[in-house]
Amino acid sequence: MDAIEMLLTRSSNNKLCAPAPQGEVLDNILNAGLRAPDHANLSPFKFIVCQNAGLDKLSNIFKQAAEKEGKTEAEMEKATKAPYRAPMVIVGICQYTEHEKVPRVEQIATTACAIQNMQMAAFAQDFNGIWRTGGFAHSQSVRDAFNLQKEDEIVGFLYLGTTETETFIKRQKSQQEHVDFWR
Ligand SMILES: Cc1cc2nc3c(=O)[nH]c(=O)nc-3n(C[C@H](O)[C@H](O)[C@H](O)COP(=O)(O)O)c2cc1C
């Protein structure tokens, strides 16, 4: 797929089934993530690629978080099922390093770019997915399960797979509303 066509048509799809990206396709996705713009080359990102038993582990983490947070039975069931909405979930974590020129927000931005790059690389190779956060990304119990330090952040859970339905390409947003030209 042409790069401009990809950037102008990119859209998420949350109806995902097996197979997950694998082999060279998955390699390309991860390497695209590692290509994210990165001030001072700090490489703040860490990706955890969950499949099969990895999804069970993630499901357990969400379930325990829901239990600890006193959620209802229905909420607990939803939490437990959440990771199985795709055959692969990549957890995108920002591991913050103190640096005089690179504030935390920039390190989170780098990790966010990495997640976007990975979703785009999946889309360009005929897979797709959706970037999710939800309460789990900020839950202390989930943070503890990933051994996050105080300033670290779960920036996203990138759900990836094969699309079950044709991806709906949304209307182009208007430049008039969102762009000012100073010239
Ligand atoms: C940081 C971030 C967190 C998000 N969290 C969620 C989420 O928890 N659940 C969800 O349905 N969509 C979430 N989204 C939005 C979807 O990833 C997606 O962008 C949205 O559905 C719009 O679709 P589009 O990407 O095709 O424009 C999040 C997006 C970002 C950038």
pLDDT in tens, 117-127: 999 999 999 99
User: Ligand 1 pocket test: which of 111, 130, 166 has the largest number of ligand atoms within 8 Å of its C-beta?
Assistant: 130
Distance 145 CA to ligand 1 centre (A): 23
For residue 1, what pLDDT band results from cuts at 50, 70 and 90?
Answer: confident
Q: What distance in Å separates the CA atoms of residue 84 and residue 122, rounded to the nearest whole number?
A: 18
Distance 36 CA to ligand 1 centre (A): 19
The model's pTM: 0.97
Pick the atom of ligand 1 nearest to 167's CA. Answer: 26
Pick the atom of ligand 1 nearest to 13's CA. Answer: 26
132 pairs with which residues across the strands?
157
Residues whose beta carbon lies within 6 Å of some atom of ligand 1: 11-12, 130-134, 156, 170
Listed residue (64, 63, 41, 58) closest to 158, CA to CA: 58
Judged against a pLDDT cut of 90, whether residue 58 lies above it is answered with: yes
Residue located nearest, by CA, to atom 12 of ligand 1: 132
Q: Give percent of the chain above pLDDT 70.
A: 100
- Residue-wise pLDDT tens digits, 18-57: 999 999 999 999 999 999 999 999 999 999 999 999 999 9
Distance 130 CA to ligand 1 centre (A): 6
Second-level CATH architecture of 13-163:
3-Layer(aba) Sandwich (3.40)
Q: What distance in Å separates the CA atoms of residue 34 and residue 46, rounded to the nearest whole number?
A: 9
Pick the atom of ligand 1 nearest to 134's CA. Answer: 8
Question: Stretch 93-110: mean pLDDT, rounded?
Answer: 98
The backbone torsions φ and ψ at residue 86, rounded to the nearest 5 degrees and listed phi first, read -155, 160
Residue type, position 122, single letter: A
Residue pair 152/95 in contact by the 8 Å Cβ criterion: yes
Q: What distance in Å separates the CA atoms of residue 58 and residue 168, rounded to the nearest whole number?
A: 29
pLDDT: which is higher, 1 or 111? 111
Q: What distance in Å separates the CA atoms of residue 1 and residue 167, rounded to the nearest whole number?
A: 15
